[in-house]
Amino acid sequence: MKRYVVWGLLWLMGAGCTADREQPLATLVDRALAHAERQSLVLARKYTDREGRLPRTWEKGEDVSSDSRWWCSGFFPGTLWYLYENSRHDEVLEYARMYTARVEREKFTTDNHDVGFMLYCSFGNGLRLTGDSTYREVLLTGARSLATRFRPEVGVIRSWDHSREKWQYPVIIDNMMNLELLMWAAANSGDTTLRRIACSHADKTMEHHFRPDYSSWHVVSYDTLSGCPHVKQTHQGYSDGSAWSRGQTWGLYGYTAMYRWTGDDRYLQQARHIARFLLNHPNMPGDGVPYWDFDVPATPSTPRDASAAAVMASALLELSGFTQGAEAQGYRDFAIRQIRTLASPEYTAEEGENGGFILKHSTGAYPFASEVDVPLTYADYYYVEALVRLKRMLQS
């Protein structure tokens, strides 16, 4: 791919301080990755002696951690793997292995759908970069554990087991992100059942999760007898009919990845439709960092969600490689706008600050007053992934 950067256009599109807008993109990416590595090493060193713990966020001046059971446990080791891919520094590799090992027991998890987040981001990147055969076993075992949550009569993977008084068989849009683990496992084991499960889930989610404008419900619960939806609502969004920002980006990323794995044009078209919804939304801020929900009344104090911007930027960069011409350029340009914004002082923490996390201003679950305007480990993961993807594109 030829270099596609036009500096004048990028200056007009850029966000953050003037210096960031004028900085050549390749330089910005290199500096952002170097800063991300320094920050992540702050976190890695801090948690070295906290056996079994992984960073989650930093709130009110205090570390908030989790064990491997928390759905975010795979993101910090995954961030370290991407940073090692970029720098090949031995210290980063050592920590990547250490924190990845802390997640291994989740290969036996069958009581939630987040096994893909936990294992594919950590062990998946580790296997890709090292070829360690023990990582392969973890991923295959984890995929089979995830597959136990699929019921053929419903056709989708169950997300949650709680709140049975209102949901019979709840599926959240986030679950699209866990299908990569199944697709990888099918391709690397010959177990075609895993691929059928992933495709069935993607197909039924496409049928029932999306509205005519290609915005997505957060939660769809299915009747276990008919296999049809009986409830469509939100859990983390502004209202049942609203477009919860991170949920929209989960869908964009998930269908882009499913196209990569299958070559099925239906998944590509779905990703393109979602991308158009996001890029053309009247409530998308000019800097490309969404408010926590697209339908929330926007004021200067309305929280943004840097994690949604990071997921979206990474997905758009990949989607640009599956499209052509002005459409592909538009996806790249918008992703670059988001990356420039996230790399600016407004969103990137000073070295050693922010508890060691890279990005500021993410929103976890606003309706529950949980993790509002804080750093989040998955925001850092998808931001670093986007930087690595962009660097590859610039070098090709």
CA gap 291, 297 in Å, rounded: 9
> Which domain CATH number covers 320?
1.50.10.10
pLDDT in tens, 238-270: 999 999 999 999 999 999 999 999 999 999 999
Q: Is the pLDDT score of 17 beyond 70?
A: no
Mean pLDDT confidence for 276-301 = 97
- In the chain, how many domains are there? 1
The question of whether 132 is a catalytic residue gets the answer no
Residue 71 lies in a domain: no
Domain that holds residue 18: 1-46+283-396
Structural tokens at position 284: 């998308």
CA gap 100, 91 in Å, rounded: 14
Residue 187 lies in a domain: no
Of the candidates 174, 293, 305, 333, the residue annotated as catalytic is 174
Residue 325 lies in a domain: yes
Helix (H, G, I), strand (E, B) or coil at 55: strand
Of the candidates 114, 293, 305, 380, the residue annotated as catalytic is 114
CA gap 2, 46 in Å, rounded: 42
Per-residue pLDDT, 18: 38
Residue 311 lies in a domain: yes
Categorize the per-residue pLDDT at 10 as very low, low, confident or very high, splitting at 50, 70 and 90: very low
pLDDT in tens, 345-390: 999 999 999 999 999 999 999 999 999 999 999 999 999 999 999 9
Residue 362 lies in a domain: yes
Per-residue pLDDT, 20: 53
In what helix (H) or strand (E) does residue 64 lie, and over which residues does it extend?
Answer: strand 62-66
Mean pLDDT confidence for 194-203 = 98
CA gap 279, 229 in Å, rounded: 29
The question of whether 20 is a catalytic residue gets the answer no
Categorize the per-residue pLDDT at 23 as very low, low, confident or very high, splitting at 50, 70 and 90: confident
In what helix (H) or strand (E) does residue 371 lie, and over which residues does it extend?
Answer: strand 370-374
Structural tokens at position 107: 């290969």
Residue 31 lies in a domain: yes
Mean pLDDT confidence for 225-232 = 96
Least confident of 19-33, 62-76, 149-163, 347-361: 19-33
Q: Which of 349, 366, 367 is nearest to 358 (CA)?
A: 349
CA gap 272, 95 in Å, rounded: 37
Global pTM value? 0.94
Residue 35 lies in a domain: yes
Residue 56 lies in a domain: no
State the chain's mean pLDDT as an integer. Answer: 94
Q: Is the pLDDT score of 15 beyond 50?
A: no
Residue with the bigger pLDDT between 17 and 252: it is: 252
Per-residue pLDDT, 164: 86
User: What is the percent of the chain with per-residue pLDDT over 90, rounded to a whole number?
Assistant: 93
Q: Is the pLDDT score of 215 beyond 60?
A: yes
The end-to-end CA distance of the chain, in Å, is: 5
Q: Using alpha carbons only, what angle is made at residue 212 by residues 210 and 215, rounded to the nearest 5 degrees?
A: 45
Per-residue pLDDT, 374: 98
Per-residue pLDDT, 21: 57
Q: Using alpha carbons only, what angle is made at residue 280 by residues 277 and 281, rounded to the nearest 5 degrees?
A: 75
Q: Is the pLDDT score of 162 beyond 80?
A: yes
Report the chain's C-alpha Rg in angstroms.
Answer: 20
pLDDT in tens, 85-135: 999 999 999 999 999 999 999 999 999 999 999 999 999 999 999 999 999
